[in-house]
Structure 1
């Protein structure tokens, strides 16, 4: 079904863009119609072939698949700009003397938007700093730094060398713990022997911890878990640990996987979170589903970390994502619990982001201020 949608939608974007570009006088006067449309047809065939090959494979098949999703992203952004130009000019029925200029402006804007989105998608994730006060955090842990990263999507696009660069970024933050908040792979296990060594390069005295996301279960999830475990990553699959005296870290399995096993959205929480009245609690849950967020707050979680949404990744899809996940990017106060939904470090589909780049989160934990004695 997904490939059928890409076939139809991508074909419409492709046809609209090539038709509008050929309507531009500088193009039409220089390129014969036969050559233009033959080239457009060949490009469309490559796109369709890439859709069916897919971009999850870790061999040569990645290239046509990645071209397909990238071309879809490019033609989508160009279609938006060209459509805006058509609406402004009444599809050529008014302002006829300026139609060519308006359409040319739309085409240039589309190219610039697509180029910027590619740049934002391929650049290194930025560091975003956030302070959070945790109820129950002992004063001795005030100032503790936690590094959190989600949606790495290691696979054909991003391999161990890309991850090695992220390890350097994370280590520069001098974190006490590193939290990997799901979708660490695109689909299948990475399958690179050097990955374990790269992961062992993470320096965090309180450990490197991870939870599963939905993409882990699109492939062989247990092998993926083993690959990361070989690199020293410890998984929290519906369980909790005490990171330090007075600080609890909990993690739940991907809620989609839990529901496929007959559970509910909050099954993982019910079996993981106990009474922690005298301790601060951090929860990792890949998907920020509203029932999970509300239940976590009700159970006394101080900080919940999620990903999954990519912050919409390519505007204006952020509006559609926000309808599905009202809290889809950034920090939110939910009944005294802080929810942070990260845009993630990688991307899904095309390596494009509009407007904001990927991110790694530096969290500085703060103990509540003590009231001055009388």
Structure 2
């Protein structure tokens, strides 16, 4: 952890030096304006890295208003810096290409006015991204077809929630609104594929009371993601059991529908192994599967798709990627995750990756949205 803090701090320092150099070195600002800009940026960068170092060290259960405010402010500033660095890089790339193609002065791109625009644009994007979050989860209906689907499972509706990230940065009313929306749809099954809790459960009794109101004809099922394990994973899983969620850790639940059997399997996130907890155990899960059943696997990580396919699963439901969450990561996510969002065919198995019902970090989504997926099983 100490090495990670040093690397993270060094990376932030390098970004700070690059942004400051590119924003003030070539402008026509006076000396005092340049100093004010550098000091302002120094404050923002220090706020981000300082806050994260503080919270990494101080994982206490006490709930002070100033802690929440400090964390929210730092996350918003982190998003601002993300956009600012992106625009500075894009401006520099454009200027370099323009210089090679048309070797003419590019003073306007580095003028005081241009610097002002670069500083203002992230604020506009922060506002736009916050509006998307405030709208709340968007219902996405996803018909998934299988040639050999039993007739009893035709039109079975599965409500898929993932990456809610219940924490101080996610308002409790967001969870309440989500539960109300799901219950109004009267789903057959509700599944959670990890990263639902992203804080100590003791701080979020209100949100858990809302989740307790979830209703589904054949039950509510959950598997842990990596973030559950960052905040005492066993307590988090017990809290979900206490609100009547069926927590699946290398386990399989059987649902009989007439002559058909629907099996819902679940594996924990591999991050569990780093906390000396039970990790994914594919042979154990496979031993519980029936050859004639229709099998659904809940896995936080879509990257486990090939291992899941090989044990005979029909449908995998995953999350984790957030679809990149906001610009520019919604474009770059494909370089980090082979299955970033949407529906994929992997041999005879189908994989659906939900881009996240909540959000991590700053209260914004840009280029993505908060997704509530309604998976509908169809034959064909």
TM bin, normalised by shorter chain, reads 0.7 to 0.9
Answering whether residue 125 of structure 2 is matched by residue 113 of structure 1, we say yes
What is the rounded CA distance, in whole Å, between the counterparts of 2:37 and 2:107 in structure 1? 25
Match of 1:372 in 2: none
What is the rounded CA distance, in whole Å, between the counterparts of 2:36 and 2:221 in structure 1? 55
- Of 318, 321, 346, which aligns to 2:358? 346
CA 1:118–1:11: 2 relative to 1, 3 Å: farther
User: TM-score, normalised to structure 1's length?
Assistant: 0.84
Match of 1:153 in 2: 165
| Residue 157 of structure 1: how far off its partner (Å) | 1.2
| Structure 1 range deviating more: 242-251 or 42-51 | 42-51
1:327–1:341 CA contact under 8 A, matched in 2: yes
| SS state at 2:170 partner | coil
Answering whether residue 209 of structure 2 is matched by residue 188 of structure 1, we say no
| Structure 1 range deviating more: 91-100 or 330-339 | 91-100
Cα deviation code 1:144-170 (max 9, x no counterpart): 211010111111112543211110121
In structure 1, stretches of 5+ residues that fail to align are: 370-374
| Residue 20 of structure 1: how far off its partner (Å) | 5.4
- Of 257, 261, 270, which aligns to 2:283? 270
| Structure 1 range deviating more: 54-63 or 164-173 | 54-63
| Residue 359 of structure 1: how far off its partner (Å) | 0.7
CA 1:199–1:111: 2 relative to 1, 3 Å: closer
Match of 1:365 in 2: 377
What is the rounded CA distance, in whole Å, between the counterparts of 2:93 and 2:152 in structure 1? 61
1:330–1:340 CA contact under 8 A, matched in 2: yes
Match of 2:81 in 1: 75
Task: Please list, as runs of the form range in 1=range in 2, the aligned pairs for 1:56-75 lying within 5 A after superposition.
Answer: 58-59=63-64, 60-75=66-81
2:86–2:328 CA contact under 8 A, matched in 1: no
| SS state at 2:302 partner | coil
Answering whether residue 294 of structure 2 is matched by residue 280 of structure 1, we say yes
In structure 2, stretches of 5+ residues that fail to align are: none
Match of 2:52 in 1: 51
CA 1:68–1:10: 2 relative to 1, 3 Å: farther
| SS state at 2:201 partner | coil
Answering whether residue 145 of structure 2 is matched by residue 133 of structure 1, we say yes
Match of 1:143 in 2: 155
1:136–1:279 CA contact under 8 A, matched in 2: no
Task: Please list, as runs of the form range in 1=range in 2, the aligned pairs for 1:110-259 lying within 5 A after superposition.
Answer: 110-121=122-133, 123-134=135-146, 136-245=148-257, 246-258=261-273
| SS state at 1:364 partner | strand
| Residue 83 of structure 1: how far off its partner (Å) | 2.8
1:236–1:252 CA contact under 8 A, matched in 2: yes
Answering whether residue 91 of structure 2 is matched by residue 95 of structure 1, we say no
| Residue 271 of structure 1: how far off its partner (Å) | 0.6
| Residue 102 of structure 1: how far off its partner (Å) | 5.1
What is the rounded CA distance, in whole Å, between the counterparts of 1:364 and 1:271 in structure 2? 28
CA 1:253–1:24: 2 relative to 1, 3 Å: same
What is the rounded CA distance, in whole Å, between the counterparts of 1:40 and 1:141 in structure 2? 57
CA 1:311–1:158: 2 relative to 1, 3 Å: same
What is the rounded CA distance, in whole Å, between the counterparts of 1:220 and 1:228 in structure 2? 13
Cα deviation code 1:102-126 (max 9, x no counterpart): 5555445444334433444554121
| Number of residues of Structure 1 aligned to a counterpart in Structure 2 | 363
CA 1:193–1:77: 2 relative to 1, 3 Å: closer
CA 1:106–1:45: 2 relative to 1, 3 Å: closer
| Residue 181 of structure 1: how far off its partner (Å) | 0.6
| Residue 39 of structure 1: how far off its partner (Å) | 4.1
What is the rounded CA distance, in whole Å, between the counterparts of 2:42 and 2:277 in structure 1? 47
| Residue 220 of structure 1: how far off its partner (Å) | 1.3
What is the rounded CA distance, in whole Å, between the counterparts of 2:172 and 2:119 in structure 1? 37
| Residue 224 of structure 1: how far off its partner (Å) | 1.0
How large is the Cα RMSD of the aligned pairs? 3.2
User: TM-score, normalised to structure 2's length?
Assistant: 0.82
